[in-house]
Amino acid sequence: MEHPILTAIRRAGFTPLGWFAPKPDDRAPQGARFVILIGNAGPAMFRRFAAERDPSTDTMDAWTRDVVTILARDLDAKTVYPFDMNPPWPFLTWARRGGAGHVSPLGLNIHPTYGLWHAYRAALLFPVEFDIPPKDPGPHPCESCEPKPCLSACPVNAFNGTIYDVPACATHLATAAGQTCMTGGCLARHACPVGQGFAYVPAQAEFHMRAFLKARKQV
């Protein structure tokens, strides 16, 4: 039977992606005895966001903060977010600490179930440690994957297994040739065989691509 805390997270429309009892070198906020990472896996959370806000004008960060604030209050938890940059919190390090996967050749975290189709939206911080069995990330799926189609699927070769060429990606998205990526999502992500059943729906993929492109223009 699933722990009630995890069930409550799912009922709020989020997916519990990993959890751990932090040690001093985990850089968790002071007083946190247990950390649960929550976010989206597949299109479910985006559907709630689109039903409650206008994706053409509203940001997912603002919606996330509003919704997770209520969830945290109900669970007697505190929160931190990956979009809080002062200080920036090590969400990807926490993900691997919490058994939520491995580093993929794209630099993204690859989850054993959801593949590349998940994202961390918040961390719930509890003042007590829960008896929830740790997650097992299993073997690294990319180590046995040949010929690593994610590295050859990008039309502008933005990935080489070590570096992500962000300017090349953003420039391509802003062109007519980049509209397939813009409206359907990253072709490198789509090429990964893990978690294909959780691929983002087109409206979700386009929302995130446009948010990425807008952020690049503001740099």
Residue 218 has pLDDT above 80, yes or no: no
The three-point CA angle 10-15-20 to 5° equals 110
Query: Taking the CA atoms of the chain, what radius of gyration do you get in angstroms?
Result: 18
Say how far apart CA 27 and CA 125 lie, in whole Å. 12
Residue 202 has pLDDT above 70, yes or no: yes
Could you report the per-residue pLDDT of 58-73, keeping only the tens digit for each?
999 999 999 999 999 9
Amino acid at 40: N
* pTM, 2 dp: 0.94
Could you report the per-residue pLDDT of 105-155, keeping only the tens digit for each?
999 999 999 999 999 999 999 999 999 999 999 999 999 999 999 999 999
Percent of the chain with pLDDT over 90: 95
For residue 163, CA distances in Å to 22, 116, 144, 159, 160 come to 30, 17, 21, 6, 6
pLDDT of residue 75: 97
